[in-house]
Chain A
Amino acid sequence: MNDSHYCPHTPEDIAEMLSVIGAASVEELFAPIPAELRAKSFNLPAGMSEFEAFSRMQAIAADNTQGVTNYIGGGFYDHIIPSVVDHLSGRAEFYTAYTPYQPECSQGTLQALFEYQTAICRLTGLDVSNASLYDGGTACAEAAMMALRVTGRHKIVVDGCVSPFFRQVLKTYLFNQDVEVVEIAPQKGQLDHAALAALLDGSVAAVLVQNPNFFGSIEDFTALAEQVHGVGALLIGSVYPISLGIVKSPGEMGIDIAVGDGQSLGNPLSFGGPSFGYIAAKKKLIRNMPGRIVGETVDKNGKRGYVLTLQAREQHIKRHKATSNICSNQGLCALRGLIFLSSVGKEGLADLARLNRDKAEYAKEQLTRIPGVSVLQTTVTFNEFTLTLPKNAAAVVTGLLDRGIAAGVPLGQYYHGLENCMAVTVTEKRTKKEIDLFAKELEVALCN
């Protein structure tokens, strides 16, 4: 009996194939492997049907607490995903294809990625985009490495208001290179401009900032860009793409390289992945971009088509001299991002951004009515803001989890001295009723 999934051969097929090969058994094909190297053990359980496997997966999912109302962000955001995103990205012609090495039979993927690159350029106000990176953190690291190559310098200055996860990834990536990473401690959830100015000199390759930052603060980095350019360095901005529905774009601010996590664009939370990292830059930086880039061209009859281009930057050609080691990226997640952006549309993204801000401002107002609760930052915010509580935020968050509310990200574990602070995120999915209940629950929690 053929009890193995997805292996179609009958015993007759196998016998015929072995006779063509001239082998007596399938095992004989493994003869090149010396006997002493054979597996010492292989203890997986027996297989099961797809029904049983799916039931097991359902049981695993059921072991997670369901129905928690999220006011947590921290880089991943609970946004609407239009139905078309799942349906269209779920076309098997997209999801069961490989990287488009053969362009004539991969125009679907290639044109979609060209359209994705266009969406990212238009969103960020920059000239060029690649076809995606792994995630927001690795995108920050890749952007920093781009700046190191472009400037030939060895120092990266990072605002401490950038996501602690992104900063950790960046530091991990750069640890083995001859690079100094200097962090600036946040000042009330904002960039400490004076500290940055004191650090800026001709040794700095790039400054990395984030908008909105981990505390939720939004800043106009236009003047900073000029200052950074003044010492011949690049300004890298990690930007939450949904905010770009209304917030001044990286291009308008003079930022050289914009990066970020694309999860908010049509990708489910999915316990942290897959999402995608985006990277966009000024045109002159294109040869230093990491990863796949799709370019427009024509075929021999003059018909428009798309190919992977500037491949001489990449590992499969340049090996150890490549701009990055990246090969597989997050293509399907980038496609989801494109479908999301095209479904929401030009005015829709602005409306969605406003809706996020309206909900967050409403929540901010309700929550700060609670005695002893105040907003940390003095800047404006988008859909995330930081509250200072009259007691330890970690304890409050733990308590509210029992009430089915993930109230916010306690900041004490990431920032010394901010033990009473938590970052609260409110997306368009939260209703007024939920927010009112949250305010009530928080007030009770703070009274206890």
Chain B
Amino acid sequence: MQLIYEKSVPGRRGVKLPASDVPVASALPATLLRTEPAGLAEVSELDLVRHFTNLSRRNFSVDTNFYPLGSCTMKYNAKVLENAAALFAPFHPMTALLPGGAELCQGTLGMLYDLGRMLADITGMDEVTPQPLAGAHGELTGIMLVSAYHAARGNSGKKKYVVVPDSSHGTNPASAAMAGYEIVTIPTAPYGDMDLELFKAAMSDEVAAVMMTCPNTLGLFNPHIKEICDIAHSHDALMYYDGANLNAIMGKVRPGDVGFDVVHVNLHKTFGTPHGGGGPGSGPVGVKKALIPFLPQPRIVRDDNGTLLLQTDNKGTVGRMANFFGNFGVMAKAYAYIIMLGREGLIRASEQAVLNANYIKERLKPYYDLPYKMTCMHECVFSASRQLEHGVHAIDIAKFLIDRGYHPPTVYFPMIVKEAIMIEPTETESKATMDAFIETMIEAAKAAENNPQALHDAPLTMPVSRLDETKAAREQNVCCIG
């Protein structure tokens, strides 16, 4: 398909601008003028509409395809959430920061405050900051809070390490490194969780925090999690909960009750807001009481009369993590989602997410190697090692699924599983959809034995076949020249 720039015709106009009702100002001095206008597309509105409509049709999405992408919680995104967020489009964030302006923003500030209270209840924490703009941004915020906590206790020089299991999301060590820590990685034991003995051996008073995903990226709930929290606390290390997999445990377990001190939640995973093809997400961070003094500013507080205020004079704060109050529009969607589902709805969402994952695990077990065989939570991780004996890789199975109209599961993650295929169906999929997917997976397993070439050739039905990634990396053509 042509690029929008290749459809461009000099002089053609899209949207008409408002007419001017004021005099033309004197021009900028020549030294400040750009020599020629930026080479943006020049297309009619209809050409523009056709271009992007046709581009959109070259995407798989939750609304068009089953999308069991492990670790991403690609549940259905309710349409009413879009309408709800649109209600807040006109509100300027600076209004709340003007003297006397918070009074004009009691609705939006109140929503952020209430969302924080609800997320605190779901995660078992004491206060939540809405500021972080995505999951990884929440991690960075959380580890900065940890750092501020240790510094306030006079321990900043002593605390050097952040401990992560080798099954963790790459963002965990990357975020901790940005917050100035060295990383200690603990291998996974044969029982599918961080090796407890190696963990104990690695712990010392120099550890600032331990970052855990629970259930972990193998979809397993760590039965030793309480012990891990206790050991960490005995070394004055804080426990960080990566909320990427919170969809498995709503109403069942609260990280705060278990002993976690800092939590981030991914509203774009657990709380039904769309991922947008790569964001916007939203990663609010919840903390226990001891960490409240360090939360980012402005902090939304409620006074005795119930009026919401912005607190900006907190000396202990880590500072500011984003322009304003976080991805407000995403939070409006999550707020609507939570009040709509309510207590029972959230519990049921987690229960059926876990049911669906176990159903797929059980039915595919005869056909794919399952390195960790225990009851899973919201996702299950297979290995294509059996198919590899026929020269078929996880990626080949992924491409075969694309031809059958399925977005592939996450492949090659977690890295500790060879040829990993990580399936997360979510609670919003019907049994019929999963059955059809399972049959296709079985078909792929059979094709691996009988006709591996068919898998190597896939996909055949897409606008493009497999792409040359080496060429892309070598040529670094990231912008249309001309």
**B382 close to chain A: CB less than 8 A:** no
- Are A299 and B276 CB-contacts (below 8 A) given A76-B93, A105-B407, A397-B98? no
A246 adjacent to chain B (CB < 8 Å): yes
Measured CA separation A307–B225 after assembly (Å): 39
Contacting B at CB under 8 A, from A68-126, are 68, 70, 72-76, 78, 80, 82, 84, 87-88, 90-109, 111-115, 117-119, 121-123, 125
CB contacts (< 8 Å) of A114 on chain B: these are: 3, 478-480
Interface check A26, CB cutoff 8 A = yes
Is there a chain A Cβ closer than 8 Å to B358's Cβ? Answer: yes
Cβ of A168 and Cβ of B319 under 8 Å apart? Answer: yes
Instruction: Judge whether A5 and B78 touch: CB under 8 Å.
Output: yes
A-B contact pairs, 21 of them (CB 8 A): A26-B355, A40-B254, A41-B121, A42-B254, A44-B118, A47-B340, A80-B18, A95-B274, A98-B69, A98-B277, A104-B462, A109-B277, A111-B58, A125-B34, A127-B479, A131-B278, A177-B180, A222-B31, A247-B32, A272-B323, A349-B37
Q: How many residues of A contact B (CB 8 A)?
A: 217
Question: Is the CB of B303 closer than 8 A to any CB of chain A?
Answer: no
Interface residues in A293-310 by Cβ distance below 8 A to B read 293-301, 303-307, 309-310
Distance in angstroms between the alpha carbons of A99 and B67 in the assembled complex = 12
B240 within 8 A of A: no
| Contacting residue for B104 out of A46, A64, A316, CB 8 A | A64
CB within 8 Å for A107 and B463 given contacts A307-B472, A322-B174: yes
Residue of B106, B322, B476 near A309 (CB, 8 A) is B476
In the complex the two chains form, is B37's CB within 8 Å of A38's CB? no
Question: Are A7 and B428 touching (Cβ within 8 A)?
Answer: yes
Say whether A320 faces chain B, with CB atoms less than 8 Å apart: yes
Q: Could you tell me the distance in whole angstroms from the C-beta of B370 to the nearest C-beta in chain A? A: 13
Interface residues of B in 231-287 (CB under 8 A from A): 249-254, 257-258, 268, 272, 274-282
| Cross-chain contact B35 with A37 (CB below 8 angstroms) | no
**Inter-chain pairs besides A4-B348, A175-B144, 8 sampled, C-beta below 8 Å:** A6-B427, A8-B430, A64-B91, A114-B478, A272-B328, A305-B463, A327-B136, A401-B104
Chain B residues with Cβ under 8 A from A134's Cβ?
133-134, 137, 322
Distance of A7 Cα from B96 Cα, bound (Å): 38
A297 with B469, Cβ < 8 A, contacts A17-B359, A40-B254 known: yes
Report the contact-size class of chain B (Cβ under 8 Å from the partner): 35 or more
In the assembled complex, the CB of B122 is this many whole angstroms from the nearest CB of chain A, namely: 7
Determine the distance from Cα of A31 to Cα of B40 in the docked complex, in whole angstroms.
58
CA–CA, A109 and B17, complex, Å = 28
Q: If A114-B478, A380-B32 touch, does A64 touch B428 (CB 8 Å cutoff)?
A: no
A176 at the A/B interface (Cβ < 8 Å)? yes
Name A107's contact: one of B26, B59, B171, B325 (CB within 8 Å).
B59
Binds B, one of A201-209, A224-232, A355-363, A437-445: A355-363
Contact B48 A84 (CB under 8 A): yes
